[in-house]
Each structure stands twice: as C-alpha cells, then as structure tokens.
A and B are shown apart, each in its own frame.
Chain A
Amino acid sequence: MKNNFLIDRRTCLKGIGASLALPLLETMGWAEPERDNPFKPPVRIGFMYMPHGVIMDQFWPTSPETYLSEPPPALESLRPVLDQCLLMKGISGVPIAPFNGAPHALELSTWLTAVLPDADRRNEINIAISADQIAANYVGGLTSLPSLELATMPQTHKENQEGLNEGYYSHCSFRSPTQAVPAEINPRTVLNRLFGKSDSPGKFTRADPLDRQMLDLVIGGAKDLRRKLPRDDQHKLDEYLDSVRCVERRIAAIETRQKEAALEAAGVSVSKRNDSDSPPIEIKIPEGDKRSEYMQVMCDLNVLAFQTDTTRVSTYIGSTPNGVSYPELGFTNEHHSQTHHNHESEKVRKVAAITEFNISQFAYMIKKMHSLREADGTLLDNCIMMWGSGLEDGNKHARENLPFIIAGRGGGSIHTGRFLADTRGNQGDLLTTLLACAGIPLDRPIGIATKEIAAMRNPL
C-alpha cells in the first residue's frame, strides 16, 4: 500500500481473473497479522446524503467546548456517539458558475466528485470519477462486491437545469467520468443479491464454476466485435464486459466462502473473524411504507455488508434533490418546497424537522455500528462514515459551509469527539483526506482539492 497510484479496476480485475484458482480472501485484503491481534480488520468507508442543506444555526455547535455537552438540536440523536464523531465548519463546495441555474442538479453530482461537469458536453454524463468509486477501484477487488450503492427513491427524475444531463440530478457515484452508477432502492433485492437470501428458492446467487468459465469465454469472444467498433462504442462495450468480470468475481468469492464453510464444518478454522466478534445482524424488511423504517432497513443492509466484509465502500442517497415528503413528521409538504423558506418560521421549523429526521437515520446506523464488537473494538472503529449535504442552505443555495458529519475512527486515523469551528478547506480537500485516512493511495487530489485537512487526523 506504499505506492502512490490508482489501480484501474480493469487491470485489477484482470489480474484477479488470472489468479482465480487461489482463494482470494486468503491472499489479499486483511492486514498482516500482528502478535496480539491476529487479524486487523480493514477500514470501510461510507457516504450518506441529504439534499437541500440545513438550518445553519440549528446544525453547528455553538463552540468546540460545548460540542459534547450541549449539542445543537439537529445533532440530538447523535448525542450518545458524539465522541465518535467529528464536525468541521468551513468546508466550501464547488463554485457552480457557469451553471448558476442548476444548484440542485449539481449539489448531488458534485458531492463526491468535487468538480463540475464538462460545460461543452453538458447534455452527456461527463464529470469525474467519484471518491467512493476511487476507493472501490482500490479495495473493491478484495471483497465480493466492489461497492454498494443504495437509495430510497428512483433515480429517473427528469429535469433539465442549464441543459445538464438529467442523470446529474439524482446520481452521486461515477465509475468513470462518463458512467453514473445507479443505486438500488429495493431492500429485498439488496438482501437477495448481497447474501443470496431469497423468498423464491433457486433464484439468484448460484455459485456455478461452469458459469464463471463460460463468462470468461464470452468476454474473450467479444474481442473481435470490439475491434469493429468506433472508440466511443468500445467504451460502452467495455463497460458491459467489466460488469461481466464483476459477476465472475462474485461467483469466485462465493465459491471461496463455500469452501471455507466446508472447512469450518470439518473442524478446520479458516475464518478471519474473532470469536468475540458480534454475530451478523438480522435484517427485517418492513411491511409498511413508513419512511423511517425504509431508511433504517437500508442502514441495516449497509451495516451488514460492512460487518460481513461483503464490501468496504458504500454510498447511500438518503433522498435525491427532487425530494420526498415526510408524513411521519405531521406534514405532507415536499422537502424542496420548504427549503425556500425566506425565513418564515413555519417553513424553517419544517426544514429543521426534516434535517433532524435524516440525521437521526444516520445516527441509527452509527449507533448500530458502535454496538457491534469487532476485533478489539467496535465495527465503527474501523469505519469512516460521512453524512452531509451538497448545499449549506437551501434558501439561498449557498455552498460556503457545507454541513458534514464524520463518524468512526477509520482504524485509528481520525481524531473524533471534536468540533473544528474554523476549518479552511473545500469539499475536495475533505474527500482527499478521508480517502487518505482509509488508506487509499491517490495519484492526484480529488476535484478542486488543494491539500489534506491535517487537523482531522489523529496525531501519531
């Protein structure tokens, strides 16, 4: 992990494809055993989004000193785990000129890219690889799923702001500058595909080694076809072939797990889990359509995916900027309509309530991670979870002090329990620092970043 370079996922997967016969999880991923701690768990990194900004004076702590004892109303739900969290005021977003008429198309799409779309190709997806996908490129090859993308509303909203591609409105993960990664919105589907649990027996997740070899032949056979295509089209084909490679890997990983399970059953210990680790959490798919339950089951799935090391990178779009309404809070107004509150107290109250609601879902996830034992600490100790919004204030569309909450110590790299009241940095700096803390080497800073934010780090 010393080299400073980005592994292209293709290269990575190709390499892995060649060594599929080896049980991967044995050879890569978990850090070398230390004397007292046979397996040091890997760092996982997750992002959770809320659109339209916050009510600033209800979000920021009054001072670093009172941060833990008298948290602001928006953070109340996090009170028991505030010592596991880090707040920084003074992180600015990407200036959005010349797209001034597109604050909402850009709040989400610049959130993990820290850069604007290409103005000359605005009708296409043309932005930059996002921070989560950079992480997935590096550590994604070590788990059966490179990354997990979740959302709680469809990403098909059509709104053409400043002539920008509609995809910008509801996506934040970009596998490459031209590929937006869609998120899964159905918890049952996530459960089925993550863990092969299914209501209809025989469906999905068969680990058939013949399928794996068959896919390999299909990929090899696409070579001729590829040669005939113009360059733009080759990229589209490559994208599909990459996804086939990904399936190959999934099958291989499942085979490995099956072998491990067989060995365990025969009394040979191969697991990297410690006996004291908490057992995998239970997932209950809610029956009704309460928003809190929906958001929480997605949190649970994220926790379970991290706990079982099924993936180490997750992105969870709590809602996209076209917004939802929150009947549970006693009003049916749609989120966005209230954020243009013009300081009317009723609307301000509603925006504050929506913000608290969203943060309390994040708090739910953080508390759960904090309750799970892993190695000599908790699951949260080995995670970096970022909650935030792409606007500071939905009333003015300001982006000077973007609200972010960092939770988890990232395996000891992040100094939590603090409020840094005067952080001078931008969104790119923050993402660059987080990836560095997660041990992801970068060949260049992310988006508009100019530096790492050293104050976030644990002094060594």
Chain B
Amino acid sequence: MTVPKTSICGALAITLLALPCLAQPAEDAEDAQFAALRADAKKSFEEGVAPFVKTYCAHCHGQNRQKGGINFQPALNNPGNADSAKRWKQALAAVKTHDMPPEDQEKQPTDEERQKFPDWIAKIKYLSAKDPGSFVIRRLTKTEYANTLHDLLGVDPAIARDLPDEVIGAGYLNTLSPLQSELYLAIANEALDRVLAPEDAPPTRLQERLFGNPPEPGADPRAAARHVATGLARTAYRRPPSAAELDVLMDVFDLARENKLSYGASLRLMLKAVLVSPQFLFITPADDATSDDGIVPLDDHQLASRLSYLLWSTMPDPELAALADRGTLHEPEILKAQVNRLLEDDRSRALFDGFGAQWLGLENLEDKTFDPVRFPQMTPEIRSAMIDEARLFFGSIVRENRNVVTFVDGDYTFLNETLATLYGMEESVTGPEMRRVKLQNANRGGILAMPGILATTSFPGRTSPVKRGVWVLEQVLGEHVPPPPPNVPALEKQDRKTIENLTLRQRTELHLTDAVCANCHRILDPIGFGLENFDAIGRWREQDDAGGTIDAAGELPGGKHFTSPAELKAIIAGRAGDLARNLTQKLLSYTLCRQLEGYDEIVVDQLMKTMAGDGYRMRTLITEIVASYPFTHRRIQEQTAPSPHEK
C-alpha cells in the first residue's frame, strides 16, 4: 500500500488548510476536536516515543544496524503512515513483555517509561491523515462467482465447483494456474448450454427476459442488439456500462454476424463475452471520479455491490439495484434500512461462511486430522454439525441483535443428536436436525466451550492448552501473541528423564521457569488449562489422558481467580470493551478487504463509542461499519503503471 510520504508538520499544515473548506458545522466540530487530539499526539510523540526509541532501540534497530531486519528510522520519520503502524505494534508488544531491550543491554527504560510507552504509542494514530484507504478490487471469490451466476442465469451454483479454492491474505486471492485459466470460459459455455435454447428451438423464458424479441424484419439488428447489450451489461457488471464497454460488446456481436451466425447465436456470443469480462469477474468503479484531495465517496452502484457481496456473497438484488439507479442508496437512513433487510434474509449466512468461520478458525475443521483410534467420533457428520452449531449461534446473535458478549457467555446453543452426544445430552436431543437448546450447565455455552472450536485448537491426539490460550487471546480478546523465540523445543522434545513423572500441566508450567517463555505463558497457560475439562473434541472430562484429576484453577493478571470454565468465561465476558473492539477490528478489516492502518483506528474508536452507547450489539456493529467513512469512501491513487495490453 502506498501512502503519500508527508512529514508530520506537512500533514498538519494540510489538515489546517483543509479545515475551512468543510461546510457542515458538525463535521467542523468533529474535525476541530480531531485537530486538538492530533496536536496532543504530536507533542507526546516528540517528547515520549521519539526519545524512548532513540535511547533504547535505535542502537540495534536504527539507520546503522538493523538487527532482525528491524529499523525504526522510517517510522520515526513518518510515524503516522501504514508501514510505521506495524513497527509501533511490534515495539509495543516487545516492550510490554520485556522482550526488548534485551536484558544484557546496559540502558534499560525505567518502570515509569515502560508504563507510559503504551499510552504514547496509542496516540500515534492521531498523526494519520483522514483517509478511507483505496477500494481494493479483487476477483469474485469462488462462492461469490457461483452465487452471482445463479442469480444472473438461474444455474446451479455447483457449476463453479472446479474452480480452485482461494487462499486469501490481505485482500489478495491466489491466481489461476495455466491449467485452470480456461475454466471461466468453460463454465460460461456450460452455463449458456443449460439456460439457452438450441438454435432452432423456441427461446427459454430466461432468454426472452435477457434478449427480448428478435428485431422485426427490416429493422436494424444492430440497434436491437445494442439495446440488449445495455441491459445485459447493467445487470452483469452491476452498474451502467460506459459507451466504450458497449462498443466492445457490439464488436463481439459484429464478429459473430460476420461469421454468419444468426441474430440469436450472435447475442449468445455477446453474453459469453460478458461472462468472461473482467467487469463481471471484478467489482469495478462506474465512473471516472475526480476530487481535489484524492478522496471520493463510493458511487451508489459500487456501494450496492460492496454491501451485497459482504452480506450475501452475491450481486445486488433488484431492490438494491433500483436504489443505486436512483442514487439514494448512500443516504444513511436508506443504507441502514438495507443492511437490516439483507441481514433478515437467509442469504446473510454468507457473513458467517465468509467471516465468522474464518474468525473462529473453523474453515479447516472438515479436513483436520484426528487420531482415528482415540477419536472415532470425528466423522464427517459430527464435523459438519460442529460447524452448523457455530453458524447458527453466530446467526442468532446477528439476527437477534444481541450483545457481542453473548459470543462468550451465551446460555444456549444449537444441537442435533450426533452433536448432543458430546454434550452428554443425546437423551433429550434426538434426530438429525439442528435445533436451539437452552443450556443449564454454566460451563457450557459460548465459543470458548464449543466443540468445533475446542477441536480446531487441539492436536490430533490431545488437547493443547497453549493453542487454546493463544486462540482466546488473539481471536476473542484481540491481543497480539508474539511467536515463540527460535530454538525452543516443543513439549515432545523435552528431555525425557526430567519430564517422565510430570503431568501435561506440570510440563507446560516448565515454561514459567524460563524468563523468556514466562512473559507470555503466564497469561496463555492459565486460560488453556482453564479449558482442560474439555477434551480434544470438546467432551467434558474430570481426568486427563494420564488419569490425573484435572485442575482447571488459575489466575489471570490483575489477580482474577477462577476454578472452572464457567468462572473463566465470566472473567473474559467481563472484558466487553476488549471483546467488542477485537470483533470490530476483525470485521472492519474483512469488509474493507485490507489490513487496518492509521486512520482506521480512529474509525474503530468512533464505532466503539457508538457501540458502547448501544450495549455492544452485533447488528448495530454491522450497520455502523457499513455506514462508516472507510466503507463509503475511497482514495483514488495516481495511476502510473504502463499497460502491457495496449498495442
């Protein structure tokens, strides 16, 4: 991501100059407040962060030496830009856990400095310019493509099953191999074979809807074809086509005619061209937007697509498309009403499939290896029931607009008979269909105690308290856990003699005898061991694999004691603010298809304020994200890459 490199002073000057141009008084006030925060941040950066880094870090991580490939100089020069934000996060984690500066360094920060460091770092975000980020274009995912073909042509979404599954990272999808590149053409051929009538047969209803009537004898077939092209492109490109785009489709029509194809067959080739066009396979902007500050609101068509693919994983339906045509979709009341309408619809399960499953770490559960001898229960049926449980639970929190803390302390879940066996409830829950079940046992309920999640955070043959601890910290509370230092042996490789008579807990607690390990493990391990009553596939147990009684008691920083999963969950649920903030960050990043950076943190702050005033409710969160500045705006960058395709 390229961010204009402005010095802090430069950025400030630009903002101050820009202020008088803003018309609305409310925004004026907001921006004035922002300017004040920024001035304060600049002061704390110059008096706090910069001297700290220069004194304690720059010796090894500065212009002259870059140990571990880390150099703070660029971040000191441009503290507010995106690349710097990553640096500050690293620095914060290292200073917090006392990893840095290394113990053998003479110069050590005072306790007071260490305490203030996080506060200073937290203010750096105000040094970022107000920026929605660019609109990251991407190819439709396999699911989105399949659903869109279905909505457009009425074909079974399974038609796209041969496309490779994508690996998603920071908004990038993987590419197609040469072997796979003709798939889009092959699928288009297949789809048209299914939905269009053969040459001499009467047209199908879809054909009539898409192509209209053939031109009367003597009428101009090109005029009729252009009319058809306009309609096809409007729907398939999800925005009005440009004249040049219509010309291309007409060229295809003419090509077909020159080759003596009938009017109908020529339209078919034209439709095929639509289906393999990048305008169909990518979500693309409608018009050439320009603005003085390089930032524009999304046009309504782009907004409709972004919203529809986020909540439904498919193209906008006629209602959304009509609002976009009318140019009213961006009006906050209308936009929020549409979010609610889309969430009411069953298609909104796409939000779980796309985001929820990834957040909870369930996308690999179907293929995860389990020891078949120890866990013969892990059949495909029970795995899919585990995923359904999480999906239905997620869906209920969205649909009922519950407090996001419900994710941790919910007292209900969704079970069928197969899954109920893991809960010991197979007597009361019978039959294959999933249904809502009220849980009486406070140790159960919520994502921390959900079999699917307990299973994905286990090894094939046993639980992993460390993995579970990391999962809770990172996925639930949004804390960054640094990777273990190199050359630390995993449990299996510890010296056999010293560990022979130790329980898993005692072995894991060896971490605490090593200062380097202890920094993180004193937080991780108690959480993991607090969940040890759940085995590697989420069944309740009183004894561990070796027959020892499970000791689920522990203490978290701040002297918070617990003796059971129920008490642990209560402590985690007590951190509603952290929980909500983490979910907000993850969801915002997912909706924007990019990592959060600089100004996004301020957007998150604003969202948190709204959330807190509304009881941290899930649907409110989704609605507010859709209405937020980075969702509804985009930065337009200068375009410099020369085209390899221009002849």
Contact = CB atoms under 8 A, between A and B. Distances in A.
A401 B460 CA distance: 31
Contacts of B460: 334, 337
A240 B178 contact: no
Interface residues of A, number: 94
Interface stretch (A21-29, A75-83, A202-210, A285-293): A202-210
B640 interface: yes
B639 A227 contact: yes
Contact of A228 (B169, B285, B490): B285
A158 B636 contact: no
A429 B643 CA distance: 34
Given A101-B486, A231-B641, A247-B182, A214 B175 contact: no
B214 interface: no
What is the interface of chain B mostly: helix, strand, loop, or mixed? loop
Given A210-B269, A234-B639, A221 B245 contact: yes
B55 interface: no
A266 B390 CA distance: 65
Nearest to B1: A232
B513 interface: no
Interface in B138-172: 138-139, 162, 164-167, 169-170, 172
A38 B395 CA distance: 69
Nearest to B183: A193
Contacts of B259: 210
B104 to A, nearest CB: 19
A10 interface: yes
Contact of B486 (A8, A100, A170, A236): A100
B179 A155 contact: no
Interface in B184-229: 185-186, 189-190, 193
Contact of B179 (A140, A149, A234): A149
Interface in B83-121: 83, 86
A224 B363 CA distance: 38
A342 B493 contact: yes
A237 B279 CA distance: 10
A20 interface: no
A124 B169 contact: yes
Contacts of A356: none
B318 interface: no
A229 B181 contact: no
A7 interface: no
Contacts of A247: 181-182, 185
A219 B251 CA distance: 12
Contacts of B19: none
Interface in A170-216: 170-171, 173, 175, 178-184, 189-190, 193-194, 202-206, 210-211, 213-215
A238 to B, nearest CB: 6
Interface size class of B (residues with CB under 8 A): 35 or more
Given A146-B178, A167-B169, A231-B640, A222 B645 contact: yes
Contacts of B514: none
A217 interface: yes
A182 B164 contact: yes
A325 B248 contact: no
Interface string B252-287: 100110010100000001001100111101101100
A223 B645 contact: yes
A236 B86 CA distance: 25
Contacts of A219: 645
B175 A182 contact: yes
B148 to A, nearest CB: 16
Given A223-B645, A231-B637, A246-B181, A218 B175 contact: no
Nearest to A182: B164
B548 interface: no
A350 to B, nearest CB: 14
A124 B168 CA distance: 9
B483 interface: yes
B181 A214 contact: no
Given A217-B251, A219-B645, A246 B278 contact: no
Contacts of B134: 230, 232-233
Given A154-B367, A214-B272, A334-B460, A167 B637 contact: no
Interface string B611-643: 000000000000000000000000011111101
Nearest to B83: A120
Contacts of B288: 228
Nearest to B250: A217
B177 interface: yes
Given A178-B172, A340-B492, A215 B185 contact: yes
A155 to B, nearest CB: 7
Given A166-B167, A180-B167, A224-B244, 7 more contacts: A124-B172, A184-B164, A221-B247, A231-B641, A232-B136, A236-B172, A243-B175
A-B pairs with lowest CB-CB distance, top 6: A221-B248, A100-B486, A243-B181, A230-B637, A101-B483, A165-B169
Interface of B: 1-2, 68-69, 83, 86, 134, 136-139, 162, 164-167, 169-170, 172, 174-182, 185-186, 189-190, 193, 242, 244-245, 247-248, 251-252, 255-256, 259, 261, 269, 272-273, 276-279, 281-282, 284-285, 288, 361, 363-364, 367, 369, 371-373, 460, 483-487, 490, 492-493, 595, 636-641, 643-647
16 contacts: A10-B644, A101-B485, A146-B178, A148-B178, A165-B170, A180-B167, A182-B176, A182-B180, A184-B180, A203-B186, A213-B255, A220-B645, A224-B242, A230-B636, A234-B641, A243-B180
Interface of A: 8, 10-11, 14, 97-98, 100-102, 119-120, 123-125, 136, 140, 145-149, 154-158, 161-163, 165-167, 170-171, 173, 175, 178-184, 189-190, 193-194, 202-206, 210-211, 213-215, 217-241, 243-244, 246-247, 250, 311, 325, 332, 334, 337, 340, 342
